[in-house]
Amino acid sequence: MKLSDHHIVKSTAVAIRAGAFALLLGAALPAAAQGQTSSMPFSGTPIAVPGSFEAENFDLGGEGVAYHDNVPGNAGGQYRLSEDVDIILSTDALGGGYVVNNFETGEWLAYTINVAATAQYNVELRASSRFSTSAFHIEVDGGVTPETAPLVASAGANVLVAGSAVFKGGKPEAYRANIAAIRSAAALARGDAA
């Protein structure tokens, strides 16, 4: 596989409201990744959306917070040597100094973003893979409630990440009911059984 064989694996429209959020990019992201605590932007400032960024500039915070890598160590031996994400030098004629390499099922990277305006955004990933079944997974945390879940689900989101809407009510019973309401609203929007 040559790094110059990069292409857009998938382009999807995602409804994102204005504000600061955590963006998670993963390869078949497991549910366990949703429990991470907060990370900090790599540059010190959230990534502006709309805009673009390099995958190797994932958040600060280490394993389980800013990323998950299945194997300890930076097997690529380039850039961010104290992190366990495999990073190599790019030889791509289209640019980019480094490449996140050996990204596999269960691994994920977190980015702190700041969305300028509520809108539908096209999310594109420039990547290469030897496998025709390669896919990526994106989660954006922020503002998912029973009222907004249908909009997010209708826009194509396959995982909804909710924060404060889940914890309203202060008791486990209320948390369960809040999660059920969000799931039900999303399922109805997709035409699935709740």
User: Partners of 13 in the beta sheet?
Assistant: 122
For residue range 19-77, list pLDDT tens digits in order. Answer: 655 555 555 444 344 444 567 889 999 988 888 888 899 999 888 888 889 999 999 99
For residue range 139-194, list pLDDT tens digits in order. Answer: 666 678 888 888 877 777 777 777 777 777 778 888 889 889 988 988 888 887 65
pTM for this prediction: 0.64
Q: Which of 61-65, 111-115, 126-130 has the lowest mean pLDDT?
A: 126-130
Give the span between the Cα atoms of 158 and 137, in whole angstroms.
Answer: 8
Instruction: Produce one character per residue of 1-12: b if its CB has 16 or more CB atoms within 10 Å, e if not.
Output: eebeebeeeeee
Q: What is the pLDDT of residue 127?
A: 75
- List Cβ neighbours of 115 (8 Å cut-off, separation of 6 or more): 16, 17, 18, 19, 20, 21, 49, 121
Residue 6, SS3 per DSSP = coil
Which helix (H) or strand (E) segment holds residue 120: the answer is: strand 119-127
Structure tokens of 67?
Answer: 């990323």
Choose among 125, 124, 81, 127: nearest CA to 102. 127
DSSP 59: P
Q: Which amino acid belongs to residue 174? A: A
Give the span between the Cα atoms of 166 and 182, in whole angstroms.
Answer: 9
Q: Which amino acid belongs to residue 41? A: P
Neighbours of 128 (CB within 10 A): 15
65 touches 39 (CB < 8 A): yes
Neighbours of 86 (CB within 10 A): 21
